[in-house]
Structure 1
Amino acid sequence: METKRVVVLGAGFAGLHAVRALSGKPGVEVVLVDRNNHHLFQPLLYQVATAGLEAPQIAFPIRAFLRRRNNVRFLMGNAEGVEPRERVLWVEGQPVPYDYLVVGTGSRTHDFGLPGVAEYGLGLKSLDDAMKIRDRILSACEEAVRTSDPERRRALLTFVVAGGGPTGVELAGALGELRRHVIARDYPDLSPKEVRIVLIEAAPHLLSAFSPGSRAYAQGFLQSLGVELYLNERVVELTPGLVRLHSGRSIPSFTVIWSAGITGQALPGLPTTRGQRVATAPGLHLPDHPSIYVVGDLNYLEGPGGRPYPQVAPTAMQQGALAAKNILRSLRGEPPVAFRYKDKGSMATLGRSQAIAEMGPLKLRGSLAWGAWLAVHLYYLIGFRNRMMVLSNWAYSYFTYDFAVRIMHHRHVFPTPREAPIC
């Protein structure tokens, strides 16, 4: 059988699961393309941002992942576009021909076109993003110690999280624990009462994907941690040092973490639909170009209820594996299999020994859910060394009430009062 080339674009959850399914298959040559040389375990990015984990502990080198996969090679570079008719992917000016293409470029932070969000909001989609947030938090505490301006100190010590989904809730909870157990000890010149953590959500409740009971539990715990909840509220503008809200209120803050939404990381040459995602047939391929499969956060496929499948890691894993399966079926002259999402449940950690987890009719809250959350994340984290390092950091933090990683890589210089009027 003639060898066919399958190019997989993106080394996220979808891309790696496609590669795994194609690895070792006869008659298939696989080229994995990514702009980074590592796979990133995004569900733990917030812990890098809040000084709980080091960046390399949640990343794994792609070449190490491919070491024993003889029919797979790696090409590092930025994809610039695709020409479906010619079956060519362009990577930094070089053509990469393919017989089949699997596109899993993921998503990026969506600013909804709001003024100032792109300039002053901090997204959380990469290791660089997480390090910027950590540096901003530590820099704000350091400057707050030495400033004599009470209003500036107030803005420095106010940390705002926009978006009450799992990422926003986990960030707010981690910041609450950071204030309680780290800032209180590392910065004796600062009172923990001065440190504000504000979580803003446009809906009347947090965590819309969870049941009302789990939402209420999460909300109650965050409030007990001292997190200020602004529900039925939304950001309309960010300026240096100020968050303006739809209600007319303003919050002085130099640190605004934006987790209010994501949009597809579109690839030029592919047609897009709502949310900059790419609509596909049930078999995950483009209707007009069956050699191109789109998986993960970029895929737009509606489920039985008429809503698109969620942009979460389990969806990406299942779609990556099915795309590979359908490519192999195509090589054998068999029709593609339609995607059917297997909902494995939802989880969110809230803080020390606290989480919520829902798996079908089973709903867990508190320490039992937290234990399940730890086990699931360790299981899906790639690399034995990474698992051991993450586990050791978690154990250290649990027994010492301390966050292990508080090194500032780049000090952030905040705007002067003239540049950022505080009201």
Structure 2
Amino acid sequence: MPVNIPKTDQPRVVIIGAGFAGLKLARKLYKHNFQVALIDRNNYHQFQPLFYQVATSGLEPSSISFPLRKVFQNIKNVFIRIADVKKIMPDEKMIDTTLGTVWYDYLVIATGATTNFFGMESFMKNGIPMKSVSEALFLRNTLLENFERAVTRLDKEEKRRLLNVVVVGGGPTGVEVCGALAEMRKFVLPKDYPEMDFNNMTITLVEANTHLLHGMSPEAGDKAVSYLKGLDVEVKLNHKVLNYDGEEVELEDKENFQTNTLIWAAGVKGQMPDGVDPDFVVRGNRIKVNSFHQLEGHDDIFAIGDIAYMETEKYPQGHPQVAQVALQQAKNLAKNLLNIQSEKAQAPFEYKDKGSMATVGRNRAVVDLPNLRFAGFPAWMVWMFVHLMSIVGVKNRLVIFINWLWNYMTYDQSLRLILRPSSRSVEKQKRNE
């Protein structure tokens, strides 16, 4: 059964995924002679770089999410459909979704990335990922519930296990969540739970590489280690995890950690829709494309963002899976689709690296620009400005700015709410599925 999308004489561009790449492409195309069908399992765009602030009670999820229909209000040639894509059918030029089938003239796969557990089942079962707003909320609930349980426990070992947190993965997400948790431990939790001694709470960051922030400069990684140690975070470099049973983390060197909370931030892999030729799938579960974002042999199927793997002379292992790549690829593909319609030559994609950055808490950040590296308070201000300006929606920017300002002035937030779905809503959701 076909999905209810009006018939049109305009070329139809179907975009799977409303992340940075998919949303940017839709916003670039709607002013031109295209019908755009934007398909996502959520009815909102998520700002992934700030998931960790939702997880640590710094921001509410609504402030880093923006309704897709709000973005395209009064736009008559953009159609949003909330569905999961079941299969791509290139021969029929259609995709099959949970709502039905959708035909396309051009198909753009922008499904992004999800957590990569590298086949380690114990971490998949017991670890907590942070690749969506719902996962960030689950982590927030878990942390707060553990604190509530710890305050009632008499057994010291059980109390310590409930308080301890282990983070696996020393990229920006792992570093930033450790910094936020350390500041929470220092400034907030002692006031919320005056009867507990949070000197007994340990935060441990485990990284398999020899330095943090892989992809940034070694100096940035060293500075991040210095900042984290200044916040009493235990940093374990060149350590590999082997197993986690929900209470104990086992490392390769047999050093173990007791914790009820393990946050997995160690890697990502592409979210691959069914129907993509396995010959095009490469390392990291990404889709190999040419310099025009096309799958080989398919002039009408494109992939952009984290799911896309494009080898170039400068990036022989593919581009980094960051927002700037996704945004620039969307912009280039929009131009190429217009060129195709005008029977002009397509422009090959060339990534312009604008730099990388990460924050480790109040007044602590590292910034790597193409010709400049700096850290500390200036880097922290740059980090805040760039992230604030990248948020979709003026209201969201204002809310986040007020939250950050309030937190800076008071060293506190009032967002530590345990929000659980009711049993009735869970049962209803299962019936609908």
User: TM-score, structure 2 length as denominator?
Assistant: 0.93
Identity of aligned residues (%): 40
User: How far does the alpha carbon of each residue in 1:276-311 deviate from its partner, in whole angstroms, 9 at most, with x for none?
Assistant: 100001100111111011010000112323121000
> Contact between 1:53 and 1:404, CA under 8 Å: does it hold in 2?
no
Contact 2:246 2:261 (8 Å CA) reproduced: no
Equivalences for residues 53-92 of structure 1 within 5 A = 53-92=59-98
Q: Which amino acid is the alignment partner of residue 316 of structure 1?
A: A
Output aligned runs, 1:194-343, within 5 Å: 194-271=200-277, 272-305=281-314, 306-343=316-353
2:166 paired residue among 160, 167, 170: 160
Q: How does 1:8-47 map to 2 (within 5 A)?
A: 8-26=15-33, 28-47=34-53
Cα gap change, 1:93 to 1:19, in 2 (>3 Å): closer
Q: Looking at both structures, which has the greater relative contact order when contacts are Cα pairs under 8 Å and sequence separation is at least 6? A: 1
Aligned-partner SS, 1:16: helix
Give the 5 Å matches for 1:172-183. Answer: 172-183=178-189
Q: What is the alpha-carbon distance in structure 2 between the residues aligned to residue 75 and residue 366 of structure 1?
A: 44
**One-letter amino acid matched to 1:76:** I
* SS of equivalent residue, structure 1 residue 116: helix
CA distance in 1, matches of 2:127, 2:299: 39
Cross-structure match for 1:344: 354
Paired with 2:336 and 2:244, the residues of 1 have a C-alpha distance of 46
Cα-to-partner distance string for 1:356-406 (whole Å, 9 max, x where unaligned): 111111112111001001110111100111011100000110000113310
For 1:9, give the aligned amino acid: I
Matching residue's letter, 1:347: M
Aligned partner (choices 193, 196, 215) of residue 190 of structure 1: 196
Q: Distance in 2 between matches of 1:334 and 1:120?
A: 52
C-alpha distance in 2 between matches for 1:295 and 1:358: 24
Are 1:396 and 1:404, in contact at CA under 8 Å, matched by a contact in 2?
no
The alpha-carbon distance between structure 1 residues 407 and 93, as it changes in their structure 2 partners (threshold 3 A), is closer
> Structure 1 length normalisation: TM-score?
0.95
Give the SS at the match of 1:122: coil
Q: What is the one-letter code of the residue matched to 1:281?
A: N
The alignment partner of 2:134 has SS state of helix
Residue 382 (structure 2) pairs with residue 375 (structure 1) = no
**SS of equivalent residue, structure 2 residue 250:** strand
Q: Which runs of 4+ in 1 moved over 6 A?
A: none
1:320-378 residue CA offsets vs partner (Å, 9 max, x unmatched): 12122211111112232111001010010111111111111111211100100111011
SS class of match (2:124) = helix
2:422 is the counterpart of 1:398: no
**8 Å Cα contact 2:116/2:266 also seen in 1:** yes
Q: Number of residue pairs matched?
A: 410
Counterpart in the other structure of 1:414: none
Q: Distance in 1 between matches of 2:418 and 2:9?
A: 53
Counterpart amino acid of residue 53 in structure 1: L
SS of residue in 2 equivalent to 1:63:
helix
| 1:388 maps to 2:398 | yes
What displacement does 1:2 show?
Answer: 4.7
What whole-Å deviation, never above 9, does each CA across 1:229-280 have from its counterpart, x for those lacking one? 1111011111021111111111111100100000000011113111110000
SS at match of 1:396: helix
Partner of 1:416: none
| Aligned-partner Cα distance in 2 for 1:215–1:377 | 20
Maintained 8 Å contact 1:302/1:308: yes
Post-superposition shift, 1:115?
Answer: 3.2
The amino acid that maps onto 2:254 is: G
Q: What are structure 2's unaligned runs of at least 5 residues? A: 1-7, 422-433
* Paired residues of 1:8 and 1:30 also in contact (CA < 8 A): yes
How far apart, CA to CA, are the structure 2 residues paired with 1:100 and 1:251?
Answer: 51
Residue by residue, what CA displacement relative to the aligned partner does 1:81-107 show, whole Å, maximum 9, x if unpaired?
100111101111511000001110001
Tell me if structure 1 keeps the 8 A contact 2:355–2:369: yes
Residue 151 of structure 2 aligns to a residue whose secondary structure is helix
SS in structure 2 of the partner of residue 160 of structure 1 = strand
* Conserved? CA contact 2:205–2:234, under 8 Å: yes
Given candidates 94, 105, 116, the residue that maps to 2:100 is 94
Amino acid at match of 1:230: K
Checking the alignment, whether the CA contact within 8 Å between 1:115 and 1:236 is kept in structure 2 is: no
Structure 1 gap ranges (5+)? 412-423
